[in-house]
Amino acid sequence: MTSHPVPWVLAVDIGTSSCRALVYDAVGDRVAIPECRRQFSPGTDSAGRNDFNPLELEAAAAGVIDDALAALDGRSGAIVAVAIDTFASSLLLATDGGEPRTPVYTYADTRCAPWAGELRKLVDEAASHDRVGTRIHSSYHPARLRWMEATGIAWRGHHVCCVGEWLAWRWTGERRISLSAASWTGLLDRRSLRWDGPWLERLGLDAGRLAPLADFGDSVDRLRPAWASRWPALAKARWFQPIGDGAAANVGSGVAEPGRVALTLGTTSALRAVPDSAPSQLPMGAWNYRIDRRRPLVGAALTEGGNVFDWACRLGGLEPGEALDAAMGSRPAGSHGLTFIPHLAGERAPNWNDQARGTIAGLTLATDATDIARAAVEGVSARLGLTLRMLGDIAGGEIMASGGLLKSGFWRRMVTAGIGRPIRVCRETEATSRGAALLALEALGAITMDGVETPGEGTATPAATDVEALARQARGQERLRSLGVS
C-alpha cells in the first residue's frame, strides 16, 4: 500500500528543451519515482527559425508517459487523470486525420516578424489588443499565418493547431482546444471567449479550421485503440485539456486566485496575476490570457532574465555560483556606473519590439567583468520594476517569486529593489507540473485552491539604498531609449 492518498494525477510538462512526466497524489504532493525526462532541441538558424519535428516531439511526450507508468511498478491504477501543459503560442498544420503537415513553430520563431510589422500598418492595433488581449507580434497566429501564406506554406485546407491540442487529438481522437491554449494564439476574444471574428475575417480563416473551444475541465475519458493498448492504465482516465505552461506555473507557485502576483525568473521572466475578471482597460504592454473559463491571467513577459546574466558571465569568463554571488553582493548597487538595457533577445513587454537591441553605457577602463555581471542583474531587475508599474492595480497584492536564480542572494536583493516591494520566494521547484496537477485535482473535486499550501522561504524586503540605485538604473534605461538607443 502507498502512503500517498488517492486519486493520483499524471502531469506531463512539455517545454522547449524537454518533456517530463511527474505523478501527484490527492493533495498535490509529488509521488517519488525516478526522473522521467526526454531531451530535445528546436531546429534553429540565423533567419529566426525555431521549430520542432512534431512526430519526434510526440515520441518524446509518449516516451515519458511510458517511463512514468513503468516507474510506478504496478501502482499506475491509482492514476485517474492526466494533466498536460505545453509551451504556449505554438502552431502546426494537420490533416483531417491529424497527420502533421508542418513543423511545430514555437513562440521564439521570429521569421514572421516582418509580417507582424505589415499587419500593424493595416490593423488598429489598440482595438485588436483590447479585443484579444495580445499585441500584433511574431509570437502569435496572425503574423505567422501571413508569413506562411507569403512563403508558400498553404494552410487553408488544413487544421490550424497548437501543440498540446494536437497531441491530445492524436491520443484521444477528440479535437478540442482549451481556453488557456487558445488565449495564447492572438485569436481569442478575451471577453466573449469565442474566436475573434475580425481577425478570422482579416486572415480569411474559416473557424472550422480551428478546434472547438473547451474549458480545462471538459475532459475526455477514452484513448484511441492503439494508445489504449499501449497505456491500459490510462485508457479510462480523465484526460484534461492541455493548457499553457505559464498558466500552470502560476497555479503551481500559489497564484490561482486574486490577491497575489506571480513573478517567475528563469531564462526569461514574467509577471502574472489572476484578477476577478478580465480588466476593462488592459495596458498596451500587457496581455490577457486564461487559466480556464473562470480565471483570467493578466500580466507581461520579458525576453530578459537569466539569459542576460549567462551572457555576461560567458563574456567575462565568470563562473556562476556562490563566489561570484558574494563578489557581486560586496559592492554597492549601481557603483559600477553602468546603464544596461538587457534586450539581447529583442523586447516583449512593455513595447513588444523584436528589433530592440541590448546596450551597455558608461564603460571605463576601470570596468571589470563582475561589474558587467552586476549591471546585467540590475538591468533585468529594473525592467521587472518598470513592467510591474505598467500593470498598475492589476499587480497588487503579495508577490510570489519562483525560479532557480532566486537562490542567489544578489538576485533576490536586486529583484526586490527593482520592483520596490517585498517578495515571498516560492520553494516549489516543479511549479509548472504541480499547477497542472492541482487544476486536475480541483476539477476532480479532490481539493479547493484556497486549501493548498505553497512552500515558501520567507519574505525578502528591499533596502532603501538599493531601491534608489535601481531607480537610477531604470531612469538611465529610459533616457537612452529616448535618444533612440536600443
Return the domain boundaries, the chain.
Answer: 8-241, 254-486
Sign of the dihedral defined by the CA atoms of residues 217, 218, 224, 228, in that order: positive
CATH numeric code, 8-241: 3.30.420.40
pLDDT value of position 1: 42
| Cα–Cα nearest to 103, from 144, 46, 136, 64 | 144
| Cα–Cα nearest to 352, from 421, 292, 300 | 300
pTM for the structure as a whole: 0.94
Nearest-angstrom CA–CA distance, 51 and 107: 9
Grid cell 529583442 is found at 346
Over its C-alpha atoms, the chain yields an Rg (Å, rounded) of 22
8-241 against 254-486: fold identical: yes
Helices 464-482, 369-391: axis angle to 10 degrees equals 90
Residue burial 408-434, b: 16+ Cβ < 10 Å; e: rest:
bebbbbbbbbbbbbebbbbebebbbbb
pLDDT value of position 457: 78
How many CB atoms are located within 10 Å of the residue 395 CB?
Answer: 25
- Which three cell numbers, joined as nine digits, stand for 23? 505523478
State which CATH number among 3.40.50.300, 3.20.20.140, 3.90.1640.10, 3.30.420.40 fits the domain covering 254-486. Answer: 3.30.420.40
- The three-state (H, E, C) secondary structure of the chain, written as one string: CCCCCCCEEEEEEECCCEEEEEEECCCCCECCCCCCEEECCCEECCCCCEEECHHHHHHHHHHHHHHHHHHCCCCHHHEEEEEEEECCCCEEEECCCCCECCCEECCCCCCCHHHHHHHHHHCCHHHHHHHHCCCCCCCCHHHHHHHHHHCCCCCCCCEEECHHHHHHHHHHCCCCEEHHHHHCCCCECCCCCCECHHHHHHHCCCHHHCCCEECCCCCECCCCHHHHHHCHHHCCCEECCCEEHHHHHHHHCCCCCCCEEEEEECCCEEEEECCCCCCCCCCCCCEEEECCCCCEEEEEEECCCHHHHHHHHHHHCCCCCHHHHHHHHCCCCCCCCCEEECCECEECCCCCECCCCCEEECCCCCCCHHHHHHHHHHHHHHHHHHHHHHHHHHHCCEEEEECHHHHCHHHHHHHHHHHCCCEEEECCCCHHHHHHHHHHHHHHCCCCHHHCCCCEEEEECCCHHHHHHHHHHHHHHHHHHHCCCC
pLDDT value of position 2: 53
- Which three cell numbers, joined as nine digits, stand for 137? 507580434
pLDDT value of position 353: 87
Low-confidence ranges of the chain (pLDDT < 50): 1
Write the single-letter amino acid at 8. Answer: W
pLDDT value of position 429: 87
Cβ proximity of 425 and 456 under 8 Å: yes
Residue 3 phi/psi, 5° resolution?
-85, -5
Nearest-angstrom CA–CA distance, 246 and 226: 31
